[in-house]
């Protein structure tokens, strides 16, 4: 069952990186390098720490401007990560979203959870 939440969560991400033709080089982007968004590795939701076991997908989506007209600010899009995450109590699939320009900074929101 999929449930919608739109609740704030604290997300911990991997260190930023870039890639060039299969090589990994942290720091600045060289010519021909592609920016890699840091992936979520854990998040805190309702007082529980959930560890990301796998990133299933990520995408950018336009926000519902008709609902959030006053809250859009300069970011009408948000980046969404679909992850499989869990704790000792079990696992689930979660959609985490960031409105930041880099798609991985605060504030984060839990959009959906599937258990």
How many domains are there within the chain? Answer: 1
Position 99 scores a pLDDT of 80
Nearest-angstrom CA–CA distance, 1 and 63: 23
- Averaged pLDDT score across all residues of the chain: 80
Structure tokens at 18: 């870039």
For residue 47, what are the domain limits? 2-13+39-114
Position 102 scores a pLDDT of 66
Q: Which of 114, 74, 72 is nearest to 92 (CA)?
A: 114
Structure tokens at 100: 């930041």
Mean pLDDT, to the nearest integer, of 9-18? 81
User: Does residue 43 lie within any of the structural domains?
Assistant: yes
Please determine, for residue 22, whether its predicted confidence score (pLDDT) is greater than 50. Answer: no
Position 32 scores a pLDDT of 57
Position 31 scores a pLDDT of 59
User: Does residue 25 lie within any of the structural domains?
Assistant: no
User: Does residue 52 lie within any of the structural domains?
Assistant: yes
Mean pLDDT, to the nearest integer, of 81-95? 95
């Amino acid at each position: 069952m999929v449930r919608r939440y739109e609740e704030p969560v604290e997300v911990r991400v991997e260190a930023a990186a870039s890639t060039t033709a299969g090589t990994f080089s942290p720091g600045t982007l060289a010519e021909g390098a592609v920016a890699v968004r840091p992936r979520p590795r854990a998040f805190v939701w309702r007082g529980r720490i959930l560890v990301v076991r796998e990133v299933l997908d990520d995408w950018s989506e336009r926000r519902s401007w008709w609902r959030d007209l006053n809250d859009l600010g300069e970011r009408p899009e948000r980046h969404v990560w679909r992850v499989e995450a869990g704790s000792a109590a079990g696992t689930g699939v979660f959609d985490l979203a960031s409105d930041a320009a880099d798609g991985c900074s605060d504030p984060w929101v839990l959009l959906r959870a599937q258990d």
